[in-house]
Amino acid sequence: MVMYTHQFGPRSGGLTVLVADRLIYPVWERGGALGDLWVKAEVEIVSNSPFQILIMAAIRDFDYGGIAVDSIMLSPECRLSSENSTLEKLPNPPKHPCIDDPEKMCDFHPDCADAEDETQCGDFSYAEGSSGWTDTSIGSQGWILYKNSTTKAEYFYVAEAAGQQLTEAQTRTPLLGPTGPACNLSFDFALTGSLDHIGELSVRVIDSLLGLRPKLWEYSGKTGAEEEEEAAWHHADILLGVRKNRFQVKFHYLLLNLF
Ligand SMILES: [Ca+2]
């Protein structure tokens, strides 16, 4: 299924596509505000039985913006089914947040049992840390989470996306902070491939009051050859320091002649 989505302004929350055959399960999601533009989305649906498609969106209690969907197209092979499918069971409702105050989420202080309010904030040292990142790419490149269920290895990589503009692959954390002077961001990165110009990776902060801040860090060029995978990983430490306002950390990557 191909569709175009418009997710604009602080009012826009998240958009999810679900498939209902014998169960209901999500097959695609996109969160956050992407700007005042239509962004193409490609949703892959694989099902052995007749199914229905559900589109679910949430808006926040703010003044402007919203979510819209247009130009939905299904593959030519799709056929209308006369069968009635029945759900075997309904999905479990989401857990109630352990605290009501959103300011206490991802503020680096555990407020809930098992620090549940701090576990999905982008910090990979938590089991669910990697799920704290939201891909906000609008163009032909996006960030994808790689997960190896055997080795438990997880990392993000940039791959081809459905968008039509040549714009940066972007991924961001939820709102974090405030922070103290010792606040540091550390990560490993690798830029490899057969192209001479492998592109540029950078880190920026989006301040909740001041908006997008200048680059804190950047790297251009290869970190190593593709065949020596281990050696290609480099380590970076970036001082985030004191930040009084809540903020998001954002990774940008741009390759001009990709694919
Ligand atoms: Ca907290």
Residue 114: partners with Cβ closer than 8 Å, 6 or more residues away: none
CA 60 – ligand 1 centroid, Å: 21
Q: Do the first three CATH levels of 2-73 and 102-254 match, i.e. the same topology?
A: yes
- Per-domain boundaries in the chain: 2-73, 102-254
CA 116 – ligand 1 centroid, Å: 8
Q: What is the predicted pLDDT for the residue at 42?
A: 94
**Prediction pTM value:** 0.85
Q: Is the pLDDT of residue 157 over 90?
A: yes
CA 125 – ligand 1 centroid, Å: 16
Q: Torsion angle of alpha carbons 120, 125, 127, 132, nearest 10°?
A: 20
The fold for domain 2-73 equals: Jelly Rolls (2.60.120)
188-232, pLDDT tens digit by residue?
Answer: 999 988 777 788 999 999 998 999 999 999 999 888 876 666 778
CATH 2.60.120.200 fits 102-254, yes or no: yes
- Give the phi and the psi of residue 116 in degrees, each rounded to 5: -60, -30
CA 164 – ligand 1 centroid, Å: 38
94-119, pLDDT tens digit by residue?
Answer: 788 888 888 999 999 999 999 999 99
Q: What is the predicted pLDDT for the residue at 229?
A: 67
CA 132 – ligand 1 centroid, Å: 14
